[in-house]
Amino acid sequence: ETPASNVAYYTLMVQQECPAIAEDVAVADFSSLNYTGLQADEFDEYDTYCTPNGWTGSTIYPDRGGVRLGYSSDKPVGTLTTPPLNLTHSGGKLTITFKAKAYGGGTGNASLVITTGPHSVSQTLKSTSKSYSVVLDCEEFDGETVTFTSDNKRVFLTDLTITTTDVTTGKRVLSEQGDAISRIITGINDKSYVVTALTPGASYHFRTKAIYIDDSESQWSASSMVELPVNEMTQGDVNCDGSVTASDVTALYNYLLNNDQTFIDTSDVDGDGFITSADITMIYNIILCFE
């Protein structure tokens, strides 16, 4: 909302929403720097160590294996800014991964503040170099810049990568492969997950592992065994998920088309001893009765 006083006319921006795509839009790698003396001149070789071209900085100095943001313990503020970036495919999120540490003396904790437009996030740093990953909200526009600022203490920065979208939630789409006997479920982004269409009365072993943002994987966890209670099977509940719905019609179609006998026990809905299209009609009738 804008004030009406003295307004001649308004201009409205309209932009089609674009699908979110994970893409590295900016990279800075200062790890090969090997300056050993006390550097009084500010760093100016951005196009050599940063992509795309056009990075800028203020009160930033070359060092061995990285750059230093801030001049001294009493003048700790330094900035590093990207050129304008195209964030139209970001989905409103950026993932920034970087390696950094607190530098030198001074009081308080060192932190690196990352800002784009009205959005910012602050990461507290350790005294030894460590890799960090933070998610930053952003505007989905072409021409946005991202600025890194040392706060109340100097910061030693080794490298950084800016990736569109929040890749910390996992790059994989939720997928289930298998049947009621054995199944692999990938792409789970929550701390809990409900597994359906298992066999009542059967015992199952559950194991899990983590996939990290760099696509490395943990070892499988120890196995946990769960014995499912014996429930009276409901005719028409073809996929055995506890209710009769349109998904049961789909499951029965799969049986008829592909001879998939995973859920055959509850498929003979009309009780004639055969599984046919008449059973599909019966399931439709059951669904209509409960609507």
pLDDT in tens, 9-52: 766 666 555 567 788 999 999 999 988 655 567 888 999 999 99
Token output for 20: 């979110």
| Distances from the Cα of 180 to the Cα of 197, 200, 248, 260, angstroms | 6, 10, 15, 12
Which among 260, 261, 263, 259 has a CA at the least distance from the CA of 234?
Answer: 263
Q: What is the model's pLDDT at position 228?
A: 75
Reference 103, options 131, 77, 82; nearest CA is: 77
Would you give the end-to-end CA distance of the chain in angstroms? Answer: 45
C-alpha–C-alpha distance, residues 89 and 112, integer Å: 25
Rounded to the nearest integer, the mean pLDDT of the chain is: 82
pLDDT given for residue 14 in this prediction: 60
Instruction: Name which of 243, 258, 76 is nearest 152 in CA terms.
Output: 76
Distance CA 153, CA 126 (A): 11
> Given this model, what pLDDT does residue 233 score?
57
Q: What is the pLDDT of residue 79?
A: 96
CB contact at 8 A, 234 and 244: yes
How many residues are there in the chain? Answer: 291
Half-sphere exposure of 12 (CA within 13 A, CB side): 2
- The pLDDT of residue 251: 82
Contact 22, 163 (CB under 8 A): yes
Answer whether residue 107 shows pLDDT above 50.
no
Closest C-alpha to 122, from 106, 139, 105, 100:
100
Lowest mean pLDDT, pick from 157-161, 229-233, 263-267: 229-233
> Considering only 54-58, 169-173, 227-231, 271-275, which range has the smallest mean pLDDT?
169-173
- Average pLDDT of the segment spanning 249-270: 73
Q: Measure the CA–CA gap between 47 and 53, rounded to whole angstroms.
A: 5
One-character DSSP codes across the chain: ----TT-----------------EEEEEE-TT-B--S---SPP--HHHHEESS--EEESEEEEBTEEEESSBTTB---EEEPPPEE-TTSTTEEEEEEEEEE-S--SS--EEEEEETTEEEEEE--SS-EEEEEEEE----EEE--EEEE-SS-EEEEEEEEEES-GGG-SSPPEEEE-SS-EEEE---SS-----SPPTT-EEEE----B-TTS-BPPPPPPEEEEPP--PPPTT-TT-SSS--HHHHHHHHHHHHH---TTGGGT-TT-SSS-SHHHHHHHHHHHHHH-
Identify which has the larger pLDDT, 171 or 120: 120
How far, in Å, CA of 151 to CA of 198, rounded? Answer: 54
**Which has more confidence, 88 or 198?**
88
pLDDT attached to residue 158: 96
- 258: its two tokens: 């592909």
pLDDT of 171 reads 47
pLDDT at 239: 77
pLDDT digits (tens, 9 = 90+) for 138-167: 998 899 999 999 988 899 999 999 999 887
Decide if pLDDT at 172 tops 60: no
Q: 104-113, 260-269, 277-286: lowest mean pLDDT where? A: 260-269
Comparing CA positions, the residue from 102, 46, 50 lying closest to residue 76 is: 102
Q: Let me know: does 228 contact 205? Beta carbons within 8 Å.
A: no
Among 5-19, 124-138, 186-200, the minimum mean pLDDT is found in: 5-19
Q: What is the pTM of this model?
A: 0.56
